[in-house]
Chains A and B, each alone.
Chain A
């Protein structure tokens, strides 16, 4: 019995030691250094929300040990374990609550051969406005054709919890693979959402008022099934692009790959009736990336004017002339009562500047629009020349967003539900893997320095080999389990039917197309 007692006490002691926080002492003697420390991820002078997970980082300076002191309004916390700074979650939450609207000062001390060195302190600014607690993204190896490992994941960004929404390994077989892509939500909520599955068990998974159905959106009258989606904010309709997409590979260029459409149109899918109708299907236009404004009164989209010379196959021609494909930004008004679209209006003529726009997203207050802009094409995730731009919707003035771009590719910008945070995919870490970056967007329309999605292990991104595709904000988690999705995925899809509608078009003269009425 005595032995058991000792054992219990020993176990409790081990548990207490394990659970206790290690707060190292700040060195009493040190030499000051006049620069900020080299840390990864780069979190110096960033603005963060008060509900974000601990901003753990690794100190990448020569040395064998480090201490970081976080201070705010007289409260001080120290962390440091070897070269990593891993912050206790509960203490971090308390610290953020105190610092809300203010700042946290961070001092980093590194132990080198000759003793301790203190680096120039930096600050983390804590915004007044919280961020949406959940984000979702597709995790994909930066591969080109192969897609054996694909999952859509949701992350609670107030802590480190990450779960699969869906994983292609739940259904794919050795003989038949499955690609999953384009997760999309209505109004940041998950009771109405969708994603696509291609090849094996193909179809579009639609969650409509929390019930799941699998739809085949390809009809005889459309060039493909739905691709890039946009849920209408109030109506039960989803706008999609339909695309014939191909890829080819650079023999030498840093970009390595070009993804391009040989044909593309826009369609509207009625979630209630499973009917598909045309929005835009002009012969010499490559329409893509639809997105609604906050009220659903306008559908914005990108379109490139493209005339084939028809001397070789379309695939070969676009492969040779890939850098001539330039996308502009257009919009069509939408009548929510009749579900009819108005004529096309040119919103931003990027082509005239030899630039190309993709992935537009309107802010929740309808004041701004973010998009990715590069030298050509629309698949900017592979273009190091692509950056995030913003348009003031009132003045239509376009500018490159300061503080958030890098020399590598930036793409897929998106807004949080309160419009105060923007998230985008960036390859700035290494030029090859897309990571989710978040930036504060203040009331004056300025973005603050972006920070990388924090991870529990600060070296996570070094050892993790998958890209964060299509990062999206959510105000709630997806509650349908991956297994439930898999069950529906195995079922035969409902086939959408095509509904003929009058499609009006009015492409701006600069692109060559004229006003026309198309009736398919």
Chain B
């Protein structure tokens, strides 16, 4: 079980009890499914609990699938295909976690499938009764059941579409196909026609009552399409195509065959079939799992920063510091600031991050952690702004709501803070968090004792601030903001020097060094600051002289700068000198 991922999943979702939240979700067909999905997703707060719920849904789906499509004995394994697809659909998301707009996605699709199968099963049972028609017994009762079946199909098509979106329509289609018999019969062979009519007509009529989707989306509203701008990651929609293919195929063949017989009768062959299916169902999800270490580390770092567990941030970073993302670097630097070790360890711990391994998906730090980084770097207005912007783009989540509440409390905007706190109090698992904030508003000394206050306070800029634009580049903005800052306290002085050193702008570094030494005694100066001073001094230390000698020797042998950097890295990676000489590109995203 991936604890950090599942916990992050519920933080990127939100369920608020009450009429307003529900009505917002119901504004699109399939909204009820998203609402239920959001309700269930919150249980990932305890990852084992959410997982258990999901497993129960899948097991139920498996049983109903077997019943509906008559999958007996070894044929039962075939029912694992959609379950396997549903599992793949949630473990392969990776950075899409931040960009997904259906906030109940992790449950809603599994529940959608379960409901589809149940509806087909119920319809089959109703239709079954009309089969007596051919036997000529109690004709009026059969006609009654025929009416019931027809009514069910129509009502399901309408209500199913309203409540479950594309799952509802797929259900109608499967019902029609499954119950269409090849045997000549005046009634039962025609189910496909009303079914197709419903699928075609219902969305086009109901479109007139909705305003939240385009007409050309009416037939697959709610279908998971992973799109960012013009880029569509169809790979992530494959599980749903598999499910569609599965239910349609089953609907066609289950009328004629019992799957137990259709596969094979030999025991050994059955055993092999069972093993193959189970193998596929284990191997495929394992291969699909988004296992990028940095992604998972970022999730753990985010939570540790949010909870001001600064040493845990460093510990986590040290485990993955070979090739961290820039977001991890920013989190590490925040932790170092709060531990008072920025000047000592900023460059000793890898400070040269990379962009995330997200394939064609363009990941922006402003989306993944922008608000958090702004907040803990004392830029509370920008933290608030990006929590709102991200809410507009990707939906209101617990993560954004907590950030909005934090910012409002910090800015002493009591009424606004109470709005967000009241919303959080209406969730299942964040009541306690909300009450703590409420207490902070009521009692300022409670707030002053909070580690969060102590983390933000020294970094907040003094005065009225200024008007500025960050162009959506939070890392660049934070670093430039401090590098160019007129620092007001010692913490800011150290941050300003170190961030200027990160930019490698000599004039800026010298300016910030002046500020630093005007407030700091010449004793106990942190390592990296001494290292930059060493670079600018005419009389170099032995260590720096050795570094220069090694550098010049390697360079003299005709190596490129990159090759020299690589060779010297094991020896000097913990020094600022190495960063100063060899890190020339500054990845931002």
> Which A residues have a C-beta under 8 Å from some C-beta of B?
141-149, 151, 164, 166-167, 169-175, 248-254, 256-258, 319-320, 322, 429-433, 457, 459-460, 462-465, 481-483, 486
Contact = CB atoms under 8 A, between A and B. Distances in A.
A146 B367 CA distance: 12
Interface in B317-370: none
Contacts of A171: 214
Interface in B12-41: 16, 18-21
Closest 6 CB pairs of A and B: A252-B465, A251-B465, A167-B211, A463-B20, A146-B392, A430-B415
A457 B22 CA distance: 13
Interface in B467-513: 467-470, 481
A148 B381 CA distance: 21
A62 to B, nearest CB: 14
B422 A249 contact: no
A170 B388 contact: no
Chain A CB within 10 Å, residue with most, of B211, B230, B418: B211
Chain B CB within 10 Å, residue with most, of A174, A175, A459: A174
Interface string B360-392: 000000000000000000011110110011011
A352 B461 CA distance: 33
B389 A146 contact: yes
B381 A249 contact: yes
B405 to A, nearest CB: 12
A313 B229 CA distance: 31
B416 A431 contact: yes
B229 A169 contact: no
Given A463-B18, A463-B20, 17 more contacts: A141-B392, A143-B388, A170-B211, A170-B215, A175-B227, A249-B381, A250-B467, A250-B468, A252-B465, A253-B464, A254-B411, A459-B20, A462-B422, A464-B20, A481-B208, A486-B214, A486-B215
B39 to A, nearest CB: 16
Contact of A142 (B381, B388, B481): B388
A249 B389 contact: no
13 contacts: A164-B211, A170-B211, A249-B381, A250-B467, A251-B467, A256-B384, A257-B385, A432-B416, A457-B20, A459-B20, A462-B422, A462-B423, A465-B391
A167 B422 contact: no
Nearest to A246: B469
A147 B392 contact: yes
Contact of B392 (A148, A164, A173, A174): A148
Contacts of A319: 467-469
Contacts of B466: 250-252
A212 to B, nearest CB: 16
A81 to B, nearest CB: 13
A141 to B, nearest CB: 5
A175 B461 CA distance: 37
B419 interface: yes
A462 B392 contact: no
Contacts of B436: none
Interface string B206-219: 01100111110000
B464 A252 contact: yes
A446 to B, nearest CB: 28
Contacts of A141: 388, 391-392
B468 A248 contact: yes
Contacts of B419: 429-430, 433, 462
Contacts of B379: 251
Contacts of B186: none
A148 B229 CA distance: 13
Contact of A143 (B213, B228, B389, B422): B389
Interface in B448-466: 460-461, 463-466
Contacts of B463: 252
Nearest to A247: B469
B211 A250 contact: no
B389 A145 contact: yes
B426 A169 contact: no
Q: Interface extent on B, as a size class?
A: 35 or more
Contacts of B208: 481, 483
B563 interface: no
B514 interface: no
A248 B384 CA distance: 14
A250 B381 contact: yes
B423 A252 contact: no
B211 A463 contact: no
Interface string B133-151: 0000000000000000000
Contacts of A464: 20
A482 B467 CA distance: 38
Contacts of A460: 20
B20 A430 contact: no
Interface in B229-251: 229-230
Contacts of B423: 462-463
Nearest to A485: B211
B413 interface: yes
Contacts of A164: 211
Contacts of A249: 381-382, 385, 467-470
A84 to B, nearest CB: 11
B467 A320 contact: yes
A431 B467 contact: no
Contacts of B465: 250-253
B435 interface: no
A496 to B, nearest CB: 27
Chain A CB within 10 Å, residue with most, of B380, B465, B481: B465
Contacts of A166: 211
A476 B231 CA distance: 44
A174 B217 CA distance: 12
Contacts of B411: 254
Nearest to A169: B212
Interface string B401-423: 00000001001010110110011
A481 B408 CA distance: 39
B208 to A, nearest CB: 6
A166 B227 CA distance: 24
A174 B391 contact: no
B211 to A, nearest CB: 4
A400 B10 CA distance: 49
B426 A483 contact: no
Nearest to B469: A248
B381 A253 contact: yes
Contacts of A486: 214-215
A463 B401 CA distance: 12
B17 to A, nearest CB: 10
B83 interface: no
A486 B393 CA distance: 21
B211 A251 contact: no
Contacts of B426: 463
A170 B214 contact: yes
A499 B483 CA distance: 52
Contacts of A253: 381, 464-465
B398 to A, nearest CB: 14
A482 B211 CA distance: 7
B16 A256 contact: no
Given A147-B392, A169-B211, A251 B468 contact: yes
A256 B229 CA distance: 28
A457 B413 CA distance: 24
A148 B393 contact: yes
A319 B469 CA distance: 10
A164 to B, nearest CB: 4
A144 B468 CA distance: 13
B19 A457 contact: yes
Chain A CB within 10 Å, residue with most, of B228, B411, B461, B467: B467
Nearest to B225: A174
Interface in B551-579: none
Chain A CB within 10 Å, residue with most, of B21, B212, B463, B481: B212
A322 B467 contact: yes
Contacts of B389: 143-146
Contact of A256 (B211, B213, B385, B418): B385
A431 B422 CA distance: 16
